[in-house]
Amino acid sequence: MILSGGAGTRLWPLSREAAPKPFMPLPDGETLLGKTASRALALAGTDTLVTVTNRDYYFHTKDTYAGVAGSAFVYLLEPFGRNTAPAVALGALCAKARGMGERVLLVMPADHLIRDQDAFADAVARATELAQTGALVTFGIAPTHPETGFGYIECGPMIEPAEGRRPAAFRVRRFIEKPALATAREYLTAGHYVWNSGMFAFTADAIVDAFARHAPGVLAAVRPVAQALRDLSTSSMLEIDAALFAAVPDISIDYAIMERAAEAGEVAVVRGTFDWSDVGSWQAVAALCAPDDDGNGGQGERVAIATRGTYVHAADRVVATVGVENLVIVDTADAVLVAHRDHLQRVKDVVGELKARGHEAYRLHRTVSRPWGTYTVLEEAPGFKIKRIEVRPGAALSLQLHHRRSEHWVVVHGVARVTNGEREFDVLPNESTFIPLDTRHRLENRGAEPLVIIEVQCGDYLGEDDIVRFDDRYGRTPA
C-alpha cells in the first residue's frame, strides 16, 4: 500500500502542486513513486498494489506505473487529504472486503528512497513474520547523525528472531516526536533509539482491530466512506465521496494508533539495515549525485568557474557559475532557484510567496500532464498561444469545441486522426488542419508511435476554461 501525498514544497521548482514530490524526476530520470512501486513489487508475495492518492493525480500515477511490471493495481482516490490514519483504515477495509483480511499490508510512503533492495526485503520478511502473529510492525532506521527533522522510536526488549539471519526486532517502548538537537545527540549515543521511517506492516484484520480499540471515532467515520465506495471488492479505481470524507478526522496513523498501541505493548519495530532517505530537501537530491573534485555535481549543460560545493540542475539552458560556493541551483522551463545549502529548508517560503502573489509557478510546470499525454505552452502573447501537444498511442483528447479561439494544428510526428466538424480524417507529418471557432473537434492517436502536433491558437481569450466537452474517455464530461 503506497501513500502518495505530500506537496514537497521544499523541492520547488522541480516539485509543484500539480506534480509533487513523488512525481519529481530524480537525477537518474526515475521518480520516487516509480521507485517505490518497483521496490514493493520486487518483494516476494506482493500481489496487489493499493495506491492512496489525490484524485487529481490518478492519471499521472497510472502513467508512472506504466513502466513498472506486474501485479494488480488498486487506486483509492481522495478528493482532499485527511492524513495517514483514514488512508490506512480505508486500505485495510478494502483488503478485508476482498477476503484478504489475514494478509499482511505493507504501508509505504511514496516519496522515500531506499537503494539496498536486499536489506529492505530482509526487513520486510522479518516484519511480515511478526505481523502474521498479529503485531503492528514499524520500521526503524539506525541513526547516522543527530537529525532533528525525524521522529524517533525507543526500542524495548528484543524479540527473538525465527531465523538467525534476519534483522533484529524489538518491542516499541515509545514513539518520540522530532527532538531538540541535544536530545537527538543523546539518542544517537544511547544506541537503542531509531528513526521512525513511516513504514508499517500489519494484517488488515489487526489494524482494523487496533482502530476499533484505539481510534474508534476514526473507524466510525471511515466505515461509511468505505461502504459508499462503488465496487469496493472488485474495482481497481475507487473514488472516495467528498461529503462523507469531509467528516473524517484529519489525523496521522502515528497519533491515532501507533502511540497508543505502543503503550499497550502491541507494536514491534524491525531495525532496518538499509539506506533510507525521505528526500526532504534539495540537500538530499544533491546527495544522490557523486560530486567531482571541487564538490560540484548535477546534470545538464553546466559551466563552473571558481565554483565549489555547488549542485546544478540544468534543463534546457546552460547554467554558468562563477566564484560561488555551496549553492543549489535548479533551472526549469519557467522558474530558477538559487539557494544556499544551509538554507534549503526555506525553499518552501518561495512557494508560499508565489502562491500569495497568485503566480502559477507554485502550481504548474510549463509541461502539464493530461490523461491522454502532455501539453507544453511554448509561447503565449495577446491574441495567440502556441502549444506542443503529445498524445500517447491509443489515446484521444475529448470531443470538444471552443467559443473564443480557433486552432491551427501542424503534425510533426506520428499520425493524427482528426475529427473536424462533420469530417474525420488522418493528418500526416508536415500536414496541417484548421479548427474554426465553435467547431466540434477531436485529436486522436490510433498509431503505435507517439503523436506530436504544434498547435497555434488564435483568439481574444485563450484560457483553458474555454472548452465544451461532449465526449471524454477519461470521465471529464459534466454528468
CA distances from 158 to 169, 176, 220, 254 (A): 6, 19, 35, 21
Q: What are phi and psi of 315, to 5 degrees?
A: -110, -95
Nearest to a second copy of 183, 326 (CB atom): 326
Among 434, 463, 470, 475, binds a second copy (CB under 8 A): 434
φ/ψ region of 120 (left if φ > 0, alpha if ψ in -120 to 50, else beta) reads: alpha
Position among 242, 412, 438, 461 found at the interface with a second copy (CB under 8 A): 412
Question: Phi-psi region for residue 35, left (φ > 0), alpha (ψ -120 to 50) or beta?
Answer: alpha
Residue 379 engages a second copy in binding (rule: CB under 8 A): yes
Residue closer to a second copy (CB basis): 119 or 320: 320
> Is residue 363 part of the contact set for a second copy (CB under 8 A)?
no
Contact of 344 with 312, CB cutoff 8 Å: no
Task: Indicate which single residue of 42, 251, 324, 468 sits in contact with a second copy (rule: CB under 8 A).
Answer: 324
For 186, the grid coordinates are: 543523546
Strands 405-413 and 416-420: unpaired
Task: Decide if residue 354 touches a second copy (CB under 8 A).
Answer: yes
Choices 43-51, 177-185, 284-292, 403-411 (CB under 8 A): range interacting with a second copy: 403-411
Contacting residue, 115, 359, 363, 403, with a second copy by CB under 8 A:
359
Q: Is 306 an interacting residue with respect to a second copy (CB under 8 A)? A: yes
The yes or no reply on residue 321 touching a second copy (CB under 8 A) is: yes
- Find the binder of a second copy among 160, 163, 342, 465 (CB under 8 A): 342
Task: Report if residue 378 touches a second copy, rule: CB under 8 A.
Answer: yes
Q: Which residue has the cell 493530461?
A: 370
Please select the residue that binds a second copy; options are 246, 336, 363, 425, rule is CB under 8 A: 336
Among 38, 132, 273, 406, contact with a second copy (rule: CB under 8 A): 406
DSSP 8-state assignment for residue 257: I
Question: Least CB distance from residue 463 to a second copy, whole Å?
Answer: 17
End-to-end CA distance of the chain: 31
In SS3 terms, 146-211 reads as: CCCCCCEEEEEEEECCCCCCCCCEEEEEEEECCCCHHHHHHHHHHCCEEEEEEEEEEEHHHHHHHH
Residue among 178, 317, 363, 403 that touches a second copy (CB under 8 A):
317
293 binds a second copy (CB under 8 A): no
Between CA 392 and CA 446 the distance in angstroms is: 9
C-alpha span between 444 and 419 (Å, rounded): 8
- Chosen residue from 338, 368, 467, 468 binding a second copy by CB under 8 A: 338
Q: Binding mask 4-33 vs a second copy (x if CB under 8 A, - otherwise)?
A: --------xx--------------------
Q: What is the DSSP string of 50-101?
A: EEEEEGGGHHHHHHHHTTS-SSEEEEEEESS---HHHHHHHHHHHHHHTT-T
The answer to whether the beta carbons of residues 103 and 203 sit under 8 Å apart is yes
Does position 189 interact with a second copy (CB under 8 A)? The reply is: no
- Let me know how long the chain is: 479
Q: Check: CB of residue 79 under 8 Å from CB of residue 69.
A: no
Q: Which H, E and C letters describe 1-22, residue by residue?
A: CEEECCCCHHHCCCCECCECHH
260 residue type, one letter: R
**Footprint on residues 440-479 left by a second copy (CB under 8 A):** 452, 454, 456, 458
Give the residue, chosen from 279, 337, 396, 427, that forms a contact with a second copy under the rule CB under 8 A.
337
CB 456 to a second copy: min, Å: 4
> Least distance (Å) from a second copy to the CB of residue 114?
28
Residue 347 interacts with a second copy (CB under 8 A)? yes
The answer to whether 16 and 352 are in contact (CB under 8 A) is no
Question: How far is the C-alpha of 440 from the C-alpha of 458, rounded, in Å?
Answer: 16
Work out which of 320, 368, 401, 468 binds a second copy, going by CB under 8 A: 320
List the one residue from 361, 389, 397, 462 that touches a second copy (CB under 8 A). 361
CA distance 466 to 123: 52
Q: Is residue 319 near a second copy by the rule CB under 8 A? A: yes
Write the interaction track for a second copy spanning residues 250-279; mark x where CB under 8 A is met and - where it is not. Answer: ------------------------------
156 contacts a second copy (rule: CB under 8 A): no
Q: Which of 145, 430, 464, 479 binds a second copy (CB under 8 A)?
A: 430
| Residue 185 beta carbon to a second copy: minimum distance, rounded to whole angstroms | 25
- Does 401 engage in binding with a second copy (CB under 8 A)? no
Torsion sign over Cα 178, 37, 79, 211: negative
Q: Which of 85, 63, 67, 370 is nearest to 75 (CA)?
A: 63
Question: Judged by CB under 8 A, which stretch of 27-35, 93-101, 212-220, 425-433 contacts a second copy?
Answer: 425-433
The site for a second copy (CB under 8 A) is made up of 12-13, 301, 303, 305-306, 314, 316-324, 327, 329, 331, 333-340, 342-344, 346-347, 349-350, 353-354, 359, 361, 378-379, 381, 383-384, 386, 388, 406, 408, 410, 412-413, 429-430, 432, 434, 452, 454, 456, 458
